[in-house]
């Protein structure tokens, strides 16, 4: 079975039911009674309506029309199609149309600068590129320097003269699914790594992996046809899309919210009757901070239908979930772990029944295996730290055109994740840190995630990142970059005193008060922090050990 068959089934069974909703909030429009009302009266920007929706039949029809457009232009099976769009109603139909044509979808990070776009397009052998109005200036800089790209489509009106309006063109194409033979072993998509060690690597997956991701997600979170999923993270990333796959499998509605303000999230839950919300740690924390600061009154919202909140993409502080359940005591909660090389979330997950184990990422997910190994790929004893390895239907085929990098992280059917972890007496896995982020200070291994989890208990800390800084005698010292909560002040002396509960070697030797940069999936951009703070002299590092 291939993933496009789920879409075709939904178009038959739920023809006129809503599949997707796109909401584009703004402060100026918040005065409308409801977002539906705002969408009716919106006049300021007709190209960006406030609220749009699409039925399952329309979804499938647009996907078929795009597939037929590609085939009418001589596109062959296996051609790579780049998608550079913000979350929008067109995103998923274009993705599925690409798959229906037998092509490979190549989603691109919307934060990429021009040189990164060009690098990824070249690396993945992209021949067709689709982009939106937000990217005109970036594409203008490079469109003549991408010789492999022979066709460019534009989503929106008034695109550059070297592009075609894709949604206009598909209106002239057949709405019948094209007769392209596709097997589950056929290549389906190329995703990109986060690029934490330089430019991203291209990750190749097949149709079988996409279907496996659907089944894993639906098994973990039990989506039914009555559920409504609120999707906020970017669709170019495996995390958001593979969580949405649960909606695809159950034929249920999903809401694409373009904005992360706490009041927008809660308003979307209320007005669209969302039952499942996937949040990143910063967004969950922002909601709690807004509630505790009196900026949000929960009595203004309706949450009776909201049954599940889950978090992924990074370690989740237990203190955060404890705070969350104080205000939302009836929510189920789950932690999801995954990486693009394993086709997103699900290879390990906590399970809603294991709320007492918050802090751990859980056990091997549905259809998956997991173990913690040493450098020789031998499983380590319970309680010892090693590298997490996973095995399942979503393990990448390879890093595209990079056999050396592939061999570094694959051991047969097993994938080395690069995350250091340990297993407790009940078999639950806890992340210790990224292998590359471990700090070696005076011969001791220091795991930043452990220090970060401790510091997040401080009432004045909004966010924190711990990195290693070079130091002549110890090799490295632990430095804590701390983002203080809005309206509060904090001193180094307060942090020093708070950290007395930590073992001496784990206490941060340097404290820096600054903002914490995070990427679109919520992960702390530690390479950027190391570039900022480790690039200069650290002779003045306060070695209080």
Instruction: Report DSSP letters for 51-70, one per residue.
Output: EEEEEHHHHHHHHHHHHHHH
Separation between Cα atoms, residue 128 and residue 97, nearest integer Å? 13
Single out the residue of 78, 272, 281 nearest to residue 190, CA to CA.
Answer: 78
Q: 99-142 pLDDT, tens per residue?
A: 999 999 999 988 888 988 999 999 999 999 999 999 999 999 99
Per-residue model confidence (pLDDT) at position 443: 57
Average pLDDT score over residue span 324-351: 91
Which of the two residues, 25 and 316, has the higher pLDDT score? 25
Per-residue model confidence (pLDDT) at position 157: 87
pLDDT at 438 over 50: yes
Spatial contact of 347 and 361, defined as CB atoms under 8 Å apart:
no
- Tell me which DSSP letter residue 144 carries: G
pLDDT at 539 over 80: no
Per-residue model confidence (pLDDT) at position 198: 58
Backbone angles phi, psi at 142, to 5 degrees: -130, -5
Which pair of structure tokens corresponds to residue 350?
A: 């906590």
Q: What is the dihedral of CA 278, 61, 51, 310, to 10 degrees?
A: 0
The secondary structure of 274-340, three-state, reads CCEEEECHHHHHHHHHHHHCCCCCHHHCCCCCCCEEEEECCCCCHHHHHHHHHHCCCCEEEEEEEEH
Per-residue model confidence (pLDDT) at position 196: 44
Per-residue model confidence (pLDDT) at position 351: 92
* 281-292 vs 262-271: helix crossing angle, rounded to 10: 90
pLDDT at 200 over 60: yes
Which pair of structure tokens corresponds to residue 80?
A: 């790579």
Q: Which residues of 51-75 are buried (b: 16+ CB within 10 A; e: fewer)?
A: bbbbbbbbbbbbbbbbbbbbbeeeb
pLDDT at 314 over 70: no
CA 267 to chain centre: 22
Separation between Cα atoms, residue 45 and residue 28, nearest integer Å? 12
| Residue carrying structure tokens 């929106």 | 156
Per-residue model confidence (pLDDT) at position 444: 67
% pLDDT > 70, the chain: 90
CA 273 to chain centre: 23
pLDDT averaged over the chain?
Answer: 88
Per-residue model confidence (pLDDT) at position 27: 52
Which of the two residues, 30 and 145, has the higher pLDDT score? 145
Q: 272-302 pLDDT, tens per residue?
A: 999 999 998 878 988 998 999 999 999 999 9
Separation between Cα atoms, residue 172 and residue 151, nearest integer Å? 18
Q: What is the dihedral of CA 47, 150, 83, 248, to 10 degrees?
A: 100
Per-residue model confidence (pLDDT) at position 20: 98
What residues contact 533, with CB distance under 8 A and at least 6 apart? Answer: 467, 469, 479, 481, 512
Per-residue model confidence (pLDDT) at position 445: 72
pLDDT tier at 420, thresholds 50, 70, 90: confident
Per-residue model confidence (pLDDT) at position 274: 97
Hey, CA dihedral for 11, 14, 15, 18, is it positive or negative? negative
Residue 292's CB is within 10 A of a number of other CB atoms, namely: 13
pLDDT at 48 over 80: no
SS3 call for 388: strand
Per-residue model confidence (pLDDT) at position 308: 96
Separation between Cα atoms, residue 211 and residue 287, nearest integer Å? 33
Q: What is the DSSP string of 220-267?
A: HH---TT-EEEE-S-TTSHHHHHHHHHHHHHT-EEEEE----HHHHHH
Which pair of structure tokens corresponds to residue 415?
A: 């994938």
- Tell me which DSSP letter residue 356 carries: G
| Ranges 39-48, 170-179, 368-377: which has the least confidence | 39-48
Spatial contact of 357 and 394, defined as CB atoms under 8 Å apart:
no
Which of the two residues, 32 and 334, has the higher pLDDT score? 334
- Tell me which DSSP letter residue 28 carries: G
Single out the residue of 336, 420, 320 nearest to residue 380, CA to CA.
Answer: 420
Instruction: Give the Cα-Cα-Cα angle 48, 49, 55 (nearest 5 degrees).
Output: 115
Separation between Cα atoms, residue 19 and residue 305, nearest integer Å? 18
pLDDT tier at 541, thresholds 50, 70, 90: very low
Where do the H-state alpha helices sit in 23-111? 35-41, 56-72, 91-100
Q: How far is residue 188 from each of residues 157, 203, 280, 487, 526, measured CA to CA in Å? A: 29, 11, 27, 48, 31
Which burial class, exposed, middle or buried, applies to 377 when counting CB atoms under 10 A from its CB (0-12, 13-18, 19+)?
middle
| Residue carrying structure tokens 């457009």 | 69
pLDDT at 347 over 80: yes
Give the HSE-up count for residue 461: Cα atoms under 13 Å, Cβ half-sphere.
Answer: 26
- Tell me which DSSP letter residue 404 carries: H
What residues contact 469, with CB distance under 8 A and at least 6 apart? Answer: 476, 477, 479, 510, 533, 534, 538, 541
Residue 420's CB is within 10 A of a number of other CB atoms, namely: 21
pLDDT at 93 over 90: yes
Spatial contact of 481 and 529, defined as CB atoms under 8 Å apart:
yes
Spatial contact of 343 and 394, defined as CB atoms under 8 Å apart:
yes
């Amino acid at each position: 079975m291939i993933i496009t068959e789920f879409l075709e089934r939904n178009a038959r069974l739920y023809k006129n039911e809503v599949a997707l909703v796109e909401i584009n909030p703004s402060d100026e429009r918040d005065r409308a009674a409801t977002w539906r009302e705002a969408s009716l009266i919106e006049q300021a920007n007709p190209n960006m309506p406030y609220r749009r929706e699409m039925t399952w039949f329309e979804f499938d029809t647009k996907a078929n029309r795009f597939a037929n457009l590609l085939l009418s232009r001589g596109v062959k099976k296996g051609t790579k199609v780049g998608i550079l769009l913000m979350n929008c109603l067109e995103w998923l139909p274009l993705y599925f149309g690409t798959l229906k044509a037998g092509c490979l979808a190549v989603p691109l990070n919307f934060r990429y600068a021009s040189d990164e776009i060009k690098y990824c397009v070249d690396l993945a052998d992209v021949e067709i590129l689709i982009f939106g109005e937000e990217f005109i200036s970036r594409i203008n800089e490079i469109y003549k320097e991408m010789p492999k790209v022979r066709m460019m489509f534009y989503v929106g009106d008034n695109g550059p003269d070297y592009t075609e309006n894709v949604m206009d063109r598909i209106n002239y194409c057949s709405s019948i699914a094209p007769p392209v033979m596709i097997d589950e072993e056929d290549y389906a998509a190329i995703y990109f790594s986060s690029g934490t060690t330089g430019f991203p690597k291209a990750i190749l997956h097949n149709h079988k992996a996409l279907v496996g991701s659907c089944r894993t997600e639906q098994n973990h979170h039990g989506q039914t046809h009555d559920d409504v999923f609120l999707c906020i993270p970017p669709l170019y990333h495996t995390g958001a899309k593979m969580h949405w796959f649960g909606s695809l499998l159950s034929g249920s509605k999903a809401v694409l919210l373009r904005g992360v303000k706490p009041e927008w999230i809660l308003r979307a839950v209320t007005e669209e009757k969302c039952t499942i919300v996937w949040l990143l740690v910063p967004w969950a924390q922002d909601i709690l901070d807004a509630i505790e600061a009196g900026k949000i009154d929960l009595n203004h919202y309706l949450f009776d239908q909201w049954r599940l909140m889950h978090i992924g993409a990074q370690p989740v502080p237990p203190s955060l979930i404890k705070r969350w359940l104080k205000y939302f005591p009836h929510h189920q909660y789950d932690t999801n772990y995954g990486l693009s090389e394993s086709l997103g979330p699900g290879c390990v997950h906590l399970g809603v029944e294991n709320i007492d184990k918050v802090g751990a990422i859980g056990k091997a997910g549905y259809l998956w295996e997991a173990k913690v190994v040493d450098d020789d790929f031998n499983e380590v004893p319970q309680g010892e730290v090693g590298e997490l390895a996973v095995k399942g239907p979503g393990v990448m085929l390879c890093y595209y055109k990079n056999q050396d990098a592939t061999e570094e992280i694959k051991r047969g059917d097993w994938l080395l994740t690069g995350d250091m972890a340990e297993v407790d007496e009940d078999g639950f896995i806890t992340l210790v840190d990224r292998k590359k982020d471990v700090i070696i200070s005076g011969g001791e291994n220091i795991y930043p995630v452990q220090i970060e989890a401790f510091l997040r208990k401080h009432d004045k800390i909004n966010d924190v990142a711990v990195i290693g800084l070079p130091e002549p005698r110890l090799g490295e010292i632990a430095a804590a970059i701390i983002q203080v909560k809005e309206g509060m002040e904090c001193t180094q002396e307060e942090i020093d005193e708070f950290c007395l509960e930590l073992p001496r070697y784990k206490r941060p030797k340097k404290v820096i008060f600054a903002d914490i940069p995070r990427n679109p999936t919520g992960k702390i951009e530690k390479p950027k922090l190391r570039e900022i703070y480790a690039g200069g002299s650290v002779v003045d590092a306060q070695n209080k050990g």
